Amino acid sequence: MPSSTIVHAAVFAVGALVGGGVATAVSARSRRDMLPPVPAQGAPAPPVIHVKPGQGTQMQTAPGQVMKVDTSVLKYGNPGPIADILVRRAYVAGYDRRLRHPAWTAEHLTLASLGKSKLEPRDASEAGDRSNSQFSEDQSIPAMFRAKLQDYFRSGYDRGHMVPAADAKISQEAMNETFLLTNIAPQVGAGFNRHYWAYLEDWCRRLTSSFSDVYVFTIPLYLPKLEADGKWRVSHEVIGSPPNISVPTHFAKVVLAAKPSSPSTPDVAEISAGAFVLPNAVIPDEAKLESFLVPIDAVERAAGLTLFSDAIKAQSKHICKTTKCEVIVRRFDDAVKGNNRKAISGPK
């Protein structure tokens, strides 16, 4: 069976994507999920909150229009939402207390950060070794909102890294931080986390051979599915006892890569960018990476995030036009991973 047919019929659950108001159906038989449409330009700007000592709080809803806000309603507590911004040695993450996994992670990859630079050689003894790392709960998160090791016990899902351990070899401390559960989300194991998702992570690292700077955002997504009654619904599993951690339906990798535009203008960057959305499901090795391409705006809309400014997106070239969007299948890594894979211990 051709690989394109396998992708459509078996795994490519992104289904119908809406970009610029035009819907593209992937297959009548495929699972039909949707990224929300990109809104038209010119939408009203959100209100701006100004807090001035001794003058109370003011909200500016439009240029020249300012109203005072009665903050006494929050006298006994402000419910938030609280944004847990976690700054690590190799990455930055935003943690979602409700879903109990990262809302997003961001990393900056270079040859030097990956220990592959000939100009900045690194002592091999200082590099991180994943066999010395263990998954652990993040004590910086309040216990009520913390993802716990026992939540993954017999869940049927891998503890999937949003920032891969292989991206944090600069030190053992940096690698250990990728094993904090604030960098983890439930992922299908065989066929996804241990295979195609790992191939995509490797592709991101290999971009450093062509670009001087590679910025990678990883974003768990919850996309709606068209049901038999004609209505769109978001349905996902929750693992743990009691149920605590939500299982994303999809994961996005959004990449921005930069390099000098020419030897004579090293300070002027040529930027390439692209976004990929993969279903949290088994994906065959022969699936084409480009089949998972989506507009960056669509990911931002689905996640409720602004990753790049309109100016950056407008000046960026398409990543698949400036480099090959092809993964390398590395099934031989299974034996290595199998030897290093630690069993999930039972709840204590």
Residue range 266-291, pLDDT digits in tens: 888 899 999 999 999 999 999 999 99
Of residues 260 and 46, which shows the higher confidence score? 260
Give the pLDDT of residue 151.
97
Give the pLDDT of residue 28.
37
Radius of gyration, alpha carbons of the chain: 22
pLDDT of residue 12 exceeding 50, the answer is no
Domains, the chain, ranges and CATH? 85-340 (3.40.570.10)
pLDDT of residue 21 exceeding 50, the answer is no
What is the sign of the dihedral through the CA atoms of 263, 269, 270 and 272? positive
pLDDT of residue 32 exceeding 70, the answer is no
pLDDT of residue 55 exceeding 50, the answer is yes
- H or E element: which one contains 38? none
- Residues 11, 284 contacting (CB under 8 angstroms): yes
Binding positions for Mg(2+): 193
Residue range 108-138, pLDDT digits in tens: 999 999 988 877 777 777 788 999 999 999 9
Give the pLDDT of residue 254.
98
Tell me how crowded residue 336 is: count the other CB atoms within 10 A of its CB.
10
Residue range 152-188, pLDDT digits in tens: 999 999 999 999 999 999 999 999 999 999 999 999 9
Q: Facing residues of 192 across strands?
A: none
Just list the catalytic residues: 161
Residue range 190-243, pLDDT digits in tens: 999 999 999 999 999 999 999 999 999 999 999 999 999 999 999 999 999 999
Give the pLDDT of residue 18.
40
State the chain's mean pLDDT as an integer. 84
User: What is the rounded average pLDDT of the residues 52-77?
Assistant: 68
Residue range 245-255, pLDDT digits in tens: 999 999 999 99
Binding positions: 193
Give the pLDDT of residue 62.
62
Residue range 61-70, pLDDT digits in tens: 566 666 666 7
Pairing of strands 158-161, 184-187: antiparallel
Of residues 29 and 328, which shows the higher confidence score? 328
pLDDT of residue 8 exceeding 50, the answer is no
> In this prediction, what percent of the chain has a pLDDT beyond 90?
64
For the full predicted model, state whether its pTM sits above 0.85.
Answer: no
Give the pLDDT of residue 331.
73
CA distance 220 to 222: 7
